[in-house]
Structure 1
């Protein structure tokens, strides 16, 4: 088939590479416009745009896919199908109708669970033991289109959202190519999603990422891992924001009130509503990220200090 790939961030690259190396003809790539990045706020192309340039594939960067010029250019490319991974914009019906086989999205959950922008983060936060990826045909309703195929992936006890997403992106790339193969061969038919089991996964905000020390140690651990690497879990100490890496619940630690620190030579513990957690990496305002014990020594912390 002639395909036009749509995607933007780095997580889309495994799928783009897999399609480029498949039997399908990659005739174009759609991605988000260049955006300011870094301290100098220079306009920078997306990871997908950069990879497409390396592959020598034409790139379309519409401000929004509703734009007539974009839709005209897409028609000129005459795609049979448009595979999608993390493109980042809603596709209007007029654009959905251009390819013969529609737009096929790789979504990082077992639909209908976790429809929305942050399925991996929400799966970790909810304590799911199994998640996966699903290919489906895009319709106007959010992540509700009929599905083609799935893959499953175990959620490991120490997985961050970044860890899990990396594995799903690699495994999902093969699923997406297999889906395109089946569509091209006429051997794969999309099936409606079940009405039961729908859950939503809205974007995780910076406010969501603030650690609530009054939660249990298990809930604290899940929140922090779900928010790593982005938007980044944080708390405050002496009215300044402190970013936190993943923590470890301690089953037989000291009895600490929520947010209260116990400072040792090689570790820093923090109280929760249940057992304490051991801090991992810490990044104080204006400082480099470092092990919690090094941060505590530099800040001259003692037992009884408290996160707010």
Structure 2
């Protein structure tokens, strides 16, 4: 089959590589335009664009699938389009171009967590099992019939970054197998069944830790927003970024938001028991081990807001 691959971030690269290694004919890659990255705002191609360049594939860079992009896709005479975190809507005019449609790899067990941030919301809400689904793209938000799924247990130490990395690998195999089944006439998409939940894109505000919440809810939120959009709190009016935390049910007497050091561990009180900080990044500085940050603060009245 003649396949278009559409994707942008690093988690989409394993799928592009897997399709090529499995022998699928990827005739072009659609990805978002180069973007300014880092503090120095260096203009960089997307990870998928870089992978496509390395593979010698045609690249179509567009943040929006407009008429000119649709016209180019029509010229490719596509059998199917595989899409993984492209980052833009596929209009009806483009949806109808491939003979077998657009096959989307989504990092949840649909219909759970439809939307832009499924893994983040799964962790924030304390799901024990996550996964990925391949489905036929429709105009609705992740509503199309499902071809297949793969499951992945959520580990105690997982962040959205680590979980998404594993799902990007297992999901890549699922996507390749789905396209092979479609080519062989064996794929039967099944309408989604079950309770629908939504996973809208997270903003920086979603990363703020509220210390009056129970410790488990705080741990889940920090895990879910790590690495993006990032967990943070305020200290004397200044934003402080936080790494993962550990639950400390043995320490219950510290008031919420109050920071204390005990036996080399930096603890913060919550609405239930304490949590232990692992890394802290003060404003304008690099991320530090929590104990080093605490020693450098030279204060005994540290209270997170």
With the shorter chain as reference, the TM-score category is over 0.9
- Superposition TM-score, scaled by structure 1 size: 0.97
Q: How much does 1:254 deviate?
A: 4.6
Match of 2:232 among 227, 231, 234: 234
Q: How much does 1:94 deviate?
A: 0.5
After TM superposition, the structure 1 = structure 2 runs for residues 211-230 of structure 1, keeping only pairs within 5 Å, are 211-230=209-228
Confirm whether residue 307 of structure 1 aligns to residue 287 of structure 2.
no
Confirm whether residue 89 of structure 1 aligns to residue 88 of structure 2.
yes
Task: Tell me, in whole angstroms, the C-alpha distance in 2 between the residues paired with 1:62 and 1:134.
Answer: 25
Partner residue in 1 for 2:29: 29
Confirm whether residue 167 of structure 1 aligns to residue 166 of structure 2.
yes
Partner residue in 2 for 1:296: 294
SS at match of 1:207: helix
SS at match of 1:208: helix
For the 8 Å contact 1:263–1:301, the answer to whether it is kept is no
Deviations 1:42-71 (A, max 9, x none): 321111011101100000012411x22211
For the 8 Å contact 1:264–1:293, the answer to whether it is kept is no
For the 8 Å contact 2:107–2:132, the answer to whether it is kept is yes
For the 8 Å contact 1:162–1:228, the answer to whether it is kept is yes
Deviations 1:85-130 (A, max 9, x none): 0000000010000000110000000000000000000111111000
Structure 1: 5+ residue stretches without partners: none
Task: Tell me, in whole angstroms, the C-alpha distance in 2 between the residues paired with 1:39 and 1:251.
Answer: 39
Partner residue in 2 for 1:266: 264
Partner residue in 2 for 1:102: 101
SS at match of 2:152: strand
Partner residue in 1 for 2:247: 249
Query: What RMSD in Å do the two structures reach over aligned CA positions?
Result: 1.0
Deviations 1:277-297 (A, max 9, x none): 001100001222111111011
Q: How much does 1:234 deviate?
A: 0.2
Deviations 1:155-193 (A, max 9, x none): 011100001000000000000000000000001111111
Aligned residues: 305
SS at match of 2:293: helix
SS at match of 1:30: strand
Q: How much does 1:261 deviate?
A: 1.2
For the 8 Å contact 2:252–2:272, the answer to whether it is kept is no
Partner residue in 2 for 1:112: 111
Deviations 1:9-63 (A, max 9, x none): 0000000000111221110000001112233323211110111011000000124
Task: Tell me, in whole angstroms, the C-alpha distance in 2 between the residues paired with 1:91 and 1:288.
Answer: 39
Partner residue in 2 for 1:6: 6
Task: Tell me, in whole angstroms, the C-alpha distance in 1 between the residues paired with 2:222 and 2:102.
Answer: 34
Q: How much does 1:275 deviate?
A: 0.5
For the 8 Å contact 1:85–1:107, the answer to whether it is kept is yes
For the 8 Å contact 2:8–2:49, the answer to whether it is kept is yes
SS at match of 2:4: strand
